[in-house]
Amino acid sequence: MNIGITCYPVYGGSGVVATELGKALAGRGHHVHFIAYSMPFRLGHVAGNITFHEVNVNTYPLFEYPPYSLALTSKMVDVVHHEELDLMHVHYAIPHATSAVQAQQILKQKDERVPVVTTLHGTDITLVGRDPSFRPVVNYSINESDGVTAVSKFLRRETHEHFDIESEIEVIPNFIDTDRFQRANKDHFKQALCPNGEKVIVHVSNFRPVKRAQDVVEVFHKLCGEGLCDLKLLLVGDGPDRVPTEHLARELGVYEDVRFLGKQEPIEEILSIADVFLMPSGSETFGLAALEAMACGVPVVCSDIGGLPELVPDEEAGFLCPLGDVGALTDRTRRILTDEDLHDRMARAARRRAVGAYSLDEIVPRYEAYYEEVRERSLAAA
């Protein structure tokens, strides 16, 4: 198939999933056209049957807010027409689904048809999308899409609860390249970061308030206070809460043992030296970063919210804790760090679950089958 993919190309789960999906589809012989405002960061270089189409937004003194979604629509029309796309798959509803259904309408006038699949990822439904300033448009764009997928059952429920959705929503969970994400020997790296063989807690996020990165530092502080001193905390990523989190680490006197590594691409190398992965998020429709950790055999301690209970079986691949309960997060993390058998059992279960339920080979064919189904349905309706 000739497939157009639109996503946010910057750091973030939906962009990662869209890019990895495009790469995997290309690897399976499809032609993939990425349409975005910059090259998706996980794409690396474009070659063979992957093409990147950049959306340029004209600035004009009259435009206080340059109309990106219109420029995206025009680019979609152009690419569908010239590259003869069979289907467009957009990730994150705002504004991608809206631009795609608009492009579809424009193309219809020229007697050209292209089905649109929208994948809902997270705050496009749970936060931003339900704000009155966007809700009618998001609702319309979902209903006008020919196919709609959500990354978890939780997200499907939320979508039905907060929007008037007429169509079926297919749950296709996120996936991971389990060859790339697996535990590898990174002794040199461990030696550099933990010269005294300290155990390692890792947190990866975009440091937005919803990730509750300060809770991670509080857990670390409590563990140190309990005498678990041979520990290091590695914080990966960057965002608005990084500075307050740094302040908290200084204030609590643990800064020396916390490393803020910033945005890192070879995440699997860091995860390969991790003993526990902490995700105390306030909202998480799926939790891709937790899946990356699980694939690397790292037990996950996370909030019992959103899509996380679907991903992390409690007491098997890690622990689910009540939201904001730093005491529970600390207790479960301590148990894993101090009980080697428990750690090893959870590490194996985490890897097994990632490979068994969320591998690329498992999930990508589900997207292919869904594309076929949507195409057949929309051809029949034409």
Q: Where along the sequence are the contacts to ligand GMT (CB under 6 A)?
A: 8, 12-15, 17, 92, 121-123, 126, 151, 174, 210, 283-288
**12 vs 147, beta carbon nearer ligand GMT:** 12
Q: Report the alpha-carbon distance of residue 125 to residue 315 in Å, rounded.
A: 29
**46 vs 210, beta carbon nearer ligand GMT:** 210
Q: Report the alpha-carbon distance of residue 377 to residue 359 in Å, rounded.
A: 28
Give SS3 for 286: coil
Q: Report the alpha-carbon distance of residue 50 to residue 54 in Å, rounded.
A: 13
Minimum separation from the CB atom of position 190 to ligand GMT (A): 27
Give SS3 for 135: helix
**94 vs 223, beta carbon nearer ligand GMT:** 94
DSSP code at position 110: T
Q: What residue number has its CB nearest to ligand GMT? A: 122
Minimum separation from the CB atom of position 78 to ligand GMT (A): 25
**20 vs 257, beta carbon nearer ligand GMT:** 20
Per DSSP bridges, beta strands 116-120 and 147-150 are: parallel
**85 vs 148, beta carbon nearer ligand GMT:** 148
Residue 311: CB atoms within 10 A of its CB come to: 29
Phi, psi of 3 (to 5 degrees): -115, 130
Alpha helices of the chain — where are they, by DSSP H?
13-27, 68-83, 93-109, 123-126, 135-144, 153-162, 187-193, 213-225, 242-251, 267-271, 288-295, 308-311, 326-338, 340-358, 360-381
Minimum separation from the CB atom of position 93 to ligand GMT (A): 10
**106 vs 210, beta carbon nearer ligand GMT:** 210
**248 vs 311, beta carbon nearer ligand GMT:** 311
Sequence-ordered list of residues with C-beta below 8 angstroms from that of 268, at least 6 positions apart, any chain: 180, 181, 182, 184, 292, 295, 296
Residue 46, judged by CB atoms within 10 A of its CB (0-12, 13-18, 19+), counts as: middle
Please state at what angle helix 360-381 crosses helix 13-27, rounded to 10 degrees: 80
**139 vs 285, beta carbon nearer ligand GMT:** 285
Minimum separation from the CB atom of position 305 to ligand GMT (A): 10
**4 vs 40, beta carbon nearer ligand GMT:** 40
Minimum separation from the CB atom of position 224 to ligand GMT (A): 29
**19 vs 126, beta carbon nearer ligand GMT:** 126
Minimum separation from the CB atom of position 121 to ligand GMT (A): 4
Minimum separation from the CB atom of position 173 to ligand GMT (A): 9
Q: Report the alpha-carbon distance of residue 133 to residue 252 in Å, rounded.
A: 40
By the 8 A CB rule, do 230 and 257 touch?
no
Nearest to 222, CA basis, from 254, 193, 256: 254
Minimum separation from the CB atom of position 11 to ligand GMT (A): 8
By the 8 A CB rule, do 176 and 24 touch?
no
Minimum separation from the CB atom of position 19 to ligand GMT (A): 11
Q: Report the alpha-carbon distance of residue 362 to residue 19 in Å, rounded.
A: 17
**Rg of the chain taking only CA atoms, in angstroms:** 22
Minimum separation from the CB atom of position 161 to ligand GMT (A): 15
Q: Report the alpha-carbon distance of residue 294 to residue 297 in Å, rounded.
A: 5
